Structure 1
Amino acid sequence: MELLGLHHVSILTGKAEKNYQFFTKVLGMRLVKKTVNQDNTQSYHLFYADGEGTPGTEVTFFDIPGLARTHQGASDISTVSLRVKSTDSLHFWKERFEQYGVEYEEIAKRANRDTLAFKDYEGTRLLLVADNGEKGVRAGVPWKREDIPLEHAIIGLGPVTLTVGTPEPTVDVLTNIMGFRYVGSYPSLAGDHRDILVYATGKGGSGAEVHIETRPDLPKVRLGRGGVHHVAFRVPNEEEYNKWASRLNENSLPNSGKVERYYFKALYFREPNGILFELSTDTPGFATDEPLEKMGQTLALPPFLEPKRKEIEEKLRPLDLDETL
């Protein structure tokens, strides 16, 4: 029983329209599912991914208009990485960020990989990570856009960085319950702080890593727009998902119990520093209710919400994704 790597991250946005423009028009990702937050159906839930909605490539957003900004701190998923093929790709993205006025830093080494740090318009801390032929969890399928060459397109999720005050409790859950293994460390670029610890699962590589930054000097994060709500890890199928549900309970780890999301099955729990983790199945996937070529074009609802479609649509605010950038 082994987690395969990262499944998705979910982030909060104050305006889905601008969010859509940034992640599709600037970053070139594909909107593979336009649906609702199943726990609050008056809110949109947008899923961006590679060309086929492959598990391990998904960045999702809960739309909450009027949401206050995030106050960064500890107990936080502080950085989300996105994979590209090579260091040459990072130079392409530097030029593109200049073109679109995106805030970015210079290319720098993190965990022995070339990386390019940047932020979206709501301050979400993002990182492009160059694969450069590294072995590990396979990348996704680039989404074709005329203005982004396929060899430079985003091809999946890279490492997530967890910023915590005390790393030991988080490490204990990652290694002793979730099966991650320690693979190294690297110096922090944020000043004179402890080295960042690197843990991997499955076949390893950037699509299967969690990085832990120790910052006891920081107050606890206050999540708002641009903040990362949770990170999900890949479970290959329902059989292993059932085993993970039992494992969490056997280890007395408080959790959500089994949650049916239709596109995947989920288990939620908080590690000791309060960061929300999710275990999500690769199956059945986003093409379950829409043809692959038409994913994300209309409001999709899982079967258990479909009978309430009229009521849900009446309470949703109008969403114009055709706004110009």
Structure 2
Amino acid sequence: MGASIMNTKLLGLHHITAITSSSPKMFRFMTEILGLHLIKKTVNQDDVRTYHLYFTDDMGSAGTDITFFDFPGLFQGTKGKNGISRIGFRVPSDDALDFWAERFHDNDIEHDEIQTNFGSRTMNFYDFDHEQYQLISDERNHGVEAGTPYLYSPIPKMFAISGLGTTIITVDYPERMDIVLTELMGFDKIATEDQRTLYELNEGGHGAQVIIEESRVLPNEIQAYGTVHHIAFRTEDEESLAYWIERIQSAGLSDSGFVDRFYFKSEYFRPGEGVLFEIATDGPGFLQDETYEEAGIHLELPPFLEDQRADIEAHLVNFNSDKKM
């Protein structure tokens, strides 16, 4: 048999990492309100006195991860231009949005009216840090498959969040961003509504979309808690990641080079001011160092940080994250 052909296409959204004022409060919000699975309780490998919490679908599938840092002593961030301004989550249907509107009302979660954007029904909502999110209905969706809702979620499966969805990035350099997305990363430009343009990768659909919103007048985002740190896109494996590292470096963009995060491998780069992109491999995944039953309960450290465990644990706010039933 001949050698297999490397798939160099980016596959869709991988994860989004935001900053929170409180890991214990975010754990409760993400698991008890949104019904996601804390599949990994670890630390920021670049700042080990900071938690890094990974909330996902049932098995931690790439494309379903929202993750959080909790840098100590940080202030409230300010949304603005040149930042990732609204995080998207997928839900199965338009009826699911009605369910969530009622759930948010009953739990005093700030949210807006259901609306239509680029042909899909959406609803904006906000957490205790005033981070900005949207739910997007998959009723008329195509393309990248959704994840599997968490087995122990308090949300009925027919309404549950199933992964990351269309996410909004606000910039004052839409022309430059268009070149990076289409000519470098392989996005297709799908449609424009007002000052927003929809782009999608590969198979397309909500699991592979970003919206670029143009603003020349907003102040620059001030990144701190309540804002997004970076957005990551999926690549198949380490071999295809090497292709992307070479491609990004050849384009002359500011980048990190190869980074081994143990649970996946990465390359970080900036498409322009303020915004941080990452390309991350689908594997090896979150369950290589603990079982499904234990996932998210205990602080897990990659092998290269294990000898620092005592010092790391001494500087973290301990909280009970045992949600298995």
* Same fold flag (TM > 0.5): yes
Residue identity opposite 2:145 in structure 1: R
Partner of 1:181: 188
Percent identical among aligned pairs is 42
Shift of 1:152: 0.5
* Residues 296 and 321 in structure 2, CA contact (< 8 A), matched pair in contact too: no
Partner of 2:52: 45
* Count of matched residue pairs: 316
2:298 aligned counterpart, secondary structure = coil
The answer on 1:256 being equivalent to 2:256 is: yes
Shift of 1:138: 0.4
Determine the C-alpha separation between the residues in 2 that align with 1:146 and 1:204.
27
Matches within 5 A, 1:267-306: 267-306=267-306
Residue identity opposite 1:235 in structure 2: T
Partner of 2:5: none
TM-score by length of 2: 0.94
* Residues 15 and 65 in structure 1, CA contact (< 8 A), matched pair in contact too: no
Q: Output one character per residue of 1:202-246: Cα deviation in whole Å (capped at 9) or x when no partner.
A: 110001011010110111100121100000000111110111111
The answer on 1:157 being equivalent to 2:155 is: no
Determine the C-alpha separation between the residues in 2 that align with 1:66 and 1:303.
28
Determine the C-alpha separation between the residues in 2 that align with 1:294 and 1:131.
31
Determine the C-alpha separation between the residues in 1 that align with 2:69 and 2:126.
18
Determine the C-alpha separation between the residues in 1 that align with 2:137 and 2:118.
11
* Residues 87 and 134 in structure 2, CA contact (< 8 A), matched pair in contact too: yes
Residue identity opposite 2:226 in structure 1: G
Shift of 1:71: 1.3
Residue identity opposite 2:220 in structure 1: K
* Residues 170 and 273 in structure 1, CA contact (< 8 A), matched pair in contact too: no
Determine the C-alpha separation between the residues in 2 that align with 1:172 and 1:250.
14
Residue identity opposite 2:205 in structure 1: G
Partner of 1:209: 209
Shift of 1:3: 0.4
Partner of 1:232: 232
5+ unaligned residues in a row in structure 1: which ranges? 188-193
1:292 aligned counterpart, secondary structure = coil
Q: Output one character per residue of 1:77-116: Cα deviation in whole Å (capped at 9) or x when no partner.
A: 0000100000000000011001100001111001110011
Partner of 1:191: none
* Residues 149 and 157 in structure 2, CA contact (< 8 A), matched pair in contact too: yes
Determine the C-alpha separation between the residues in 2 that align with 1:216 and 1:314.
45
1:91 aligned counterpart, secondary structure = helix
Residue identity opposite 2:131 in structure 1: T
5+ unaligned residues in a row in structure 2: which ranges? 1-7
Determine the C-alpha separation between the residues in 1 that align with 2:193 and 2:235.
28
Shift of 1:128: 0.4
TM-score by length of 1: 0.94
Residue identity opposite 1:250 in structure 2: S
Q: Output one character per residue of 1:34-58: Cα deviation in whole Å (capped at 9) or x when no partner.
A: 0001001111110001011000000
**Greater CA deviation, 287-296 or 19-28?**
287-296
Shift of 1:156: 0.2
Residue identity opposite 1:295 in structure 2: A
Shift of 1:273: 3.1
Partner of 2:247: 247
Partner of 1:77: 84
2:272 aligned counterpart, secondary structure = coil
* Residues 10 and 202 in structure 2, CA contact (< 8 A), matched pair in contact too: yes
